Structure 1
């Protein structure tokens, strides 16, 4: 019976599980650091760079030592256990960092360099130790496997393929299954348990009694193979038409390491650009990001399997095979912009109108059609280099460790260069063409060294092609990374490091579009955008210091300057949006970008608030798309707890929600989560539109009734008319009040949304697709009307503690607002006959002689003015 050490399938299985756990760690680490340091592209890139730097250094270090251990497999097991142990420290370190981060940030003074150093120090202590240990797993396993089974190239490529396949499975599980099933903390512990299992199994295998005999027998066979290899090298005919195995010694020099470095650089840079391109056509939820990453890793795994098959063919000269692979890489990178346009029908939204699983299928097919074959070609280059290194006078672990280090360093630099330099300077299309030139130049280098008979013709041709390739941007009709609607005209566009942001004009109004399909607001909704500030500040007695999570066009934050504020702090995660708003929306932003009371940070809003030591009277969280990755973090209990600690006595936190993008389940979860933190949560309407209503959940630092006198004073301030009658102002503002969420108990059964179990983050994308397919309804029209009716029925104005200071006449204004909305809904549905009752009720309860209309509501209530 062969010993377990001679059963590679068992060892491959362990290595697959090791790759699975590693990607689960990586996905969760990036998320946790995003919560701590901010969800910006820089913070994510910093985490990725430090993680892979640890992998690179660990690969080199453990590879150098791998042959010195009496059992490389046993040391592999020890390293896996140490990965689990160091990974466990994250539970203690993160809690400490969350407590210390505001103090540390205040200490560095907000200086960009010092802030970056602080974030890097935190990421290093969290990520580097386990990543350094992970980097040793491949060289240690290779050192053991190659000593048992013949061939560095065959075994090394197989290990690379298996481990990458495990990583793809881990990325898919971490994106789709584990957070919903276990929660993030339990998913993390599962990865720890898997590493402990792998380590224990590896150590157990080394205790098998037949190990020494198997090793001795293999050593004898290795000596025989060495003698045969030496004879083969001595008998090789170098003039017989190509480089065979005998010429491989020449390939242990500079060229191999250049190919390893720059292929890693270009491959990860292409992956970054692909991710940006897919952001233009997908939902951009945690699910779609996981799908794109998984398919890329699958392509790399298949590429490694192809490399293994190629290494088995000893008749083809390896340098020619490598030359073909590099030319294939150049073609894959350079053709990617046109392939993407073709595969998405000109940047059309993928899977429009499809339900959840049909949408996931459509995204998978589209991404596979665009990425899979090019990804396989790109993924074949690195593992095939093992064929070139097969005769290098070094141990298998050392060889693989060096290769991992060089390639990973190139990959880190490529990802950073593409994300923060190339895309911002060149755009996605030209960046891919430049990356194609990298592969062509590598092919020229390989041709120069490995093809002496063709070098005079081949190398100059490749160099000329590399120089000419970027000219395709000019010579061919290059696709623009924006799908322009027929009724829009483009004013400005920026492909930045964080997103593609465009300012377009539609029907005489300007709006901002992010990543092609997401609108951040515009001048066509001036009143609604200003109401997102006017209503919260009007209901607060003394709004002096205001904080904004999100900025968009700047119209909302600019409305705060109508009040006697002393400080306004705005945090917008996308610097491209800040620049677009400053350049193109200044006339509507009420001096936001020039007022000395205003400070604008291009940072993650949650992070800005968490690290701040200031206190605010009002904190306003903008309208966000609930299903976008990262948005769910702004609805969690932990975030609301931080917000509560940043409020002045009597302060309020305002969470704006687009009812046209949530179902009753997401709304109930957000409201229930706020109620678990704030003593009293109120519901205010931001507008009275039937088909695109927005509401504010207002969490109070302490339960207090509405100050009607201050509300009227603020109303006169907004109207810029001190002579307006009190009843008219009170009626105008109180019609936006919808009810008391806390007193009504309407959301008591909502799912609590936490950082560990982010219900909204994972439910909202599913709801969005079901709504598109007609399986679920948004909270608009009759659904919003039922919500408002239920709030009033559960706690009427007379019983509402928030309205305790109002007269009976003023309480009637609240009921009138309900009637106004019902009338608007019925008008939208074409039922003016039924709506007439609510029109009459509204006019009876208010001092209005006619239905008050805004510019946006004129069409809805057309035909009723004056009735």
Structure 2
């Protein structure tokens, strides 16, 4: 083959691997948006995608030898991938048109809903994946010019394609979505595939014109060799090894991802780093197998035995490596800036995954060396091995996520997976031309190792981090399909913690958690139905049962959170899990709201950490549009924001996005803490105003109908009102956060690291106080249309709004040690309200929702 043709083909195959990983990243995200960001939805996307790859590898691999030009076949497959992928846009619109009706027909039947999801996922993913699966066998059939080159050329191609996947994962995770948007990124992948296909067809035509006679390996008259049997190993055993290799490799990836979720920021960037490190290790494994394949004096069976044995050892030892590298689940890169943080995460990921990943990645490509002696056709040999490997990968990912994690946990599962390779090594040993006693001599240690790995469970590691120095005690921890969740007791309070460093709230912040319901419910004249996006401890949702609601729906992504909230927070949830008016479901909140059967008077969106992967979708324009459609007339959509996790720029993006959807957006404070407040952005239709009589009525009911003066009830509520966002002109220059350009999801992680490095600050303390003053100046309370009824019926009550700002400044200044100025603001608070003493408010809770670092 001419050198130029060979190098052009190599470049095209590299680009093909790049585009394939971009597709995969985008498809997993897309199906997460369509079906919910659950473990089941992600597993469904991966399973359908891999099933297409496996089927395509098998079918196109068998067809490759019959084609006059496999290079042209590769080009046509690439064009086919681009065309079928382009149909995604049509299918996406079709989905939104027909899925609600089909979802309604499925009702509560889990099997019917699952069948519907599988059908739609197959319609979207299977055709391009099926074509994509044929690209490696076609290129292999074209590039392998002699039977003795199957191993060396095949392993090089595998390494090349995997390295292209590394580049694709890196680009899709870090750069392309913000530069081009997700639609633009998808179109770029399509354009790459079209270009690769067209270039391959041009090269194939040029080669055909120069070739005087057909290559014997690509002649359509030469039939494909149907067997992989070689070197004493049956084709069935070879395929089982390929299958088991895929099973273990994908299972290990799922488990490592869970382990790293315990110690990382868990943004789109850190997930991308883990994926890139894993793919890079697999690529290095392919290079290692290429080097081994080039040494003819090595017996392939013996090398395979060595690879299987070493792979078992390094996979089983990887939990110890992880715990050692992270110093026992210590947060990686604490206090580091953005660049330093990415460097720290990359270093840990490579340190933990490279050696095991290399060994895992070497097994499959080296099987080409094992079967090379049988002189198989390159296309069928590659196709069968890849199909078996990919089929194993499907089952491995499903088994790890839904069987191994809940039963054995991440570390126990990794050790147990190490038992598979010694069993495969024993099967290979059984084919060695040795006396039986000698085979048993070698096999016995492997069998003992397999049994030991299968039953051994490390007892010295805790799956949940507990800070004993802070007085913490573990109540219960669960490793489930979605996350590791722990109920912890600290200073007499209880809190829920997810993946070791994210607190969902607790009893130490009762007032703050209850205010998330009390404030918006009191602002509605008579709320009958309420929806909660996110559950946490259940304290916030349970507070709604203090009102005369007829229906309460709550959706929580993590089923483990629901289980522990019900088990350990029941005394503070006001009967949430037993009340017939309430229904709590383990579903993705956005998906749950979109397909809700009812409309609601109040929709309350929980405090979602903006930089966590997936939560940025809950701050998008599309999500707010969906929420607006689910509101009853006069209803309120409430977006609570953790200002102690948002910069002023991040807050501006969210406020601008909500203001682009709702005709009116107002802000309510959730507390008056100095060092970390929460704020609610409340979206309504135009003309919705605050009813002071409703505030009085709700206040008396919540106080047990005690004879409190109207002024005191109004002052208690109105001091929490911050102002009208709409028409303030404060956020006109901020970008709008959309699903296509998720600014928050990609900007917030950088902001968080900048704050940790002291290069930026959260919207708290003086920063927040300044915002309150500017907002009041831009939209004065005596002109605020939302306060029109308050202004008409209770004119002095406008002073209660201003009093809330004074009390906030008092807390900030007192916290800073500026007592004299703090007292002036406290006196202004007394002058504007009927109170004669400061409100009895708790200190800023130590168990508030948020990421702990």
Give TM-score, length-normalised by structure 2.
Answer: 0.96
Do residues 100 (structure 1) and 82 (structure 2) align? Answer: no
Residue 206 of structure 1 and its aligned partner are, at CA, apart by 1.1
Specify every segment of 5 or more residues in structure 1 that has no aligned partner in the other structure, as ranges. 224-245, 860-867
Provide the residue aligned with 1:839 in structure 2.
826
Provide the residue aligned with 2:556 in structure 1.
572
Q: Is contact 1:447-1:455 (8 Å) kept?
A: yes
CA shift digits 1:727-783 (9 cap, x unpaired): 000000100000000032222222100010000000000000000000010001001
Alignment of 1:468-507 (within 5 A): 468-473=452-457, 477-486=459-468, 487=470, 488-507=472-491
Do residues 601 (structure 1) and 585 (structure 2) align? Answer: yes
Do residues 814 (structure 1) and 798 (structure 2) align? Answer: no
Provide the residue aligned with 2:610 in structure 1.
626
Provide the residue aligned with 1:798 in structure 2.
782
Provide the residue aligned with 1:611 in structure 2.
595
Give, in whole Å, the separation in 2 of the partners of 1:421 and 1:137.
33
Residue 844 of structure 1 and its aligned partner are, at CA, apart by 0.2
SS of corresponding position for 1:147: coil
Give, in whole Å, the separation in 1 of the partners of 2:844 and 2:169.
47
CA shift digits 1:528-556 (9 cap, x unpaired): 00000000100011211101100000000
Do residues 742 (structure 1) and 729 (structure 2) align? Answer: no
Give, in whole Å, the separation in 1 of the partners of 2:235 and 2:128.
31
SS of corresponding position for 1:151: helix
CA shift digits 1:647-683 (9 cap, x unpaired): 1110110000000000011100000000010010000
Residue 10 of structure 1 and its aligned partner are, at CA, apart by 1.5
Residue 33 of structure 1 and its aligned partner are, at CA, apart by 1.1
Q: Is contact 1:148-1:218 (8 Å) kept?
A: no
Provide the residue aligned with 2:350 in structure 1.
368
Give, in whole Å, the separation in 1 of the partners of 2:718 and 2:147.
79
Do residues 274 (structure 1) and 256 (structure 2) align? Answer: yes
Alignment of 1:330-341 (within 5 A): 330-341=312-323
Q: Is contact 2:106-2:112 (8 Å) kept?
A: yes
Give, in whole Å, the separation in 2 of the partners of 1:702 and 1:571.
28
SS of corresponding position for 1:183: helix
Provide the residue aligned with 1:667 in structure 2.
651
SS of corresponding position for 1:173: helix
Alpha carbons of structure 1 residues 209 and 441: separation in structure 2 relative to 1, 3 Å: closer
SS of corresponding position for 1:744: coil
Give, in whole Å, the separation in 2 of the partners of 1:738 and 1:182.
37
Alpha carbons of structure 1 residues 539 and 359: separation in structure 2 relative to 1, 3 Å: same
Provide the residue aligned with 2:403 in structure 1.
421
Give, in whole Å, the separation in 1 of the partners of 2:843 and 2:634.
33
Residue 150 of structure 1 and its aligned partner are, at CA, apart by 5.3
Q: Is contact 2:556-2:586 (8 Å) kept?
A: yes
Residue 106 of structure 1 and its aligned partner are, at CA, apart by 1.1
SS of corresponding position for 2:392: helix
SS of corresponding position for 1:390: helix
Give, in whole Å, the separation in 2 of the partners of 1:46 and 1:703.
44
Alpha carbons of structure 1 residues 104 and 247: separation in structure 2 relative to 1, 3 Å: closer
Alpha carbons of structure 1 residues 853 and 462: separation in structure 2 relative to 1, 3 Å: same
CA shift digits 1:444-472 (9 cap, x unpaired): 11122236253120112211111122444
Provide the residue aligned with 2:715 in structure 1.
731
CA shift digits 1:813-865 (9 cap, x unpaired): 00000000000001111111110110000000000011112233699xxxxxx
Q: Is contact 1:543-1:565 (8 Å) kept?
A: yes
Do residues 198 (structure 1) and 196 (structure 2) align? Answer: yes
Could you tell me which of 684, 699, 703 is aligned with 2:668? 684
Provide the residue aligned with 1:545 in structure 2.
529
Give, in whole Å, the separation in 2 of the partners of 1:210 and 1:603.
56
Could you tell me which of 118, 121, 127 is aligned with 2:119? 121
How well do the aligned residues superpose, as a CA RMSD in angstroms?
A: 1.9
Give, in whole Å, the separation in 2 of the partners of 1:148 and 1:790.
76
Do residues 824 (structure 1) and 806 (structure 2) align? Answer: no
Provide the residue aligned with 1:430 in structure 2.
412
Do residues 316 (structure 1) and 298 (structure 2) align? Answer: yes
Q: Is contact 2:229-2:371 (8 Å) kept?
A: no
Residue 314 of structure 1 and its aligned partner are, at CA, apart by 1.1
Residue 218 of structure 1 and its aligned partner are, at CA, apart by 6.7
Give, in whole Å, the separation in 1 of the partners of 2:310 and 2:70.
36
Q: Is contact 1:647-1:701 (8 Å) kept?
A: no
Provide the residue aligned with 1:137 in structure 2.
135
Provide the residue aligned with 1:8 in structure 2.
6
Give, in whole Å, the separation in 2 of the partners of 1:31 and 1:703.
38
Alignment of 1:13-92 (within 5 A): 13-92=11-90
Alpha carbons of structure 1 residues 334 and 747: separation in structure 2 relative to 1, 3 Å: same
Alignment of 1:229-240 (within 5 A): none
Give, in whole Å, the separation in 1 of the partners of 2:277 and 2:612.
20
Give, in whole Å, the separation in 1 of the partners of 2:208 and 2:192.
27
Provide the residue aligned with 2:387 in structure 1.
405
Do residues 381 (structure 1) and 359 (structure 2) align? Answer: no
Give, in whole Å, the separation in 2 of the partners of 1:528 and 1:650.
25
Give TM-score, length-normalised by structure 1.
Answer: 0.94
SS of corresponding position for 1:706: coil
Give, in whole Å, the separation in 2 of the partners of 1:543 and 1:707.
13
Could you tell me which of 327, 331, 335 is aligned with 1:353? 335
Could you tell me which of 231, 254, 278 is aligned with 2:236? 254
Alpha carbons of structure 1 residues 858 and 430: separation in structure 2 relative to 1, 3 Å: closer
Could you tell me which of 502, 514, 517 is aligned with 1:533? 517
Could you tell me which of 836, 839, 853 is aligned with 1:849? 836
Could you tell me which of 125, 145, 148 is aligned with 1:147? 145
State the 4+ residue runs in structure 1 displaced beyond 3 angstroms.
Answer: 147-150, 209-212, 214-221, 246-249
Give, in whole Å, the separation in 2 of the partners of 1:220 and 1:351.
54
Q: Is contact 2:229-2:235 (8 Å) kept?
A: no
Residue 389 of structure 1 and its aligned partner are, at CA, apart by 1.1
Residue 198 of structure 1 and its aligned partner are, at CA, apart by 0.4
SS of corresponding position for 2:761: coil
Provide the residue aligned with 2:434 in structure 1.
452
Could you tell me which of 167, 171, 174 is aligned with 2:172? 174
Q: Is contact 1:102-1:612 (8 Å) kept?
A: no
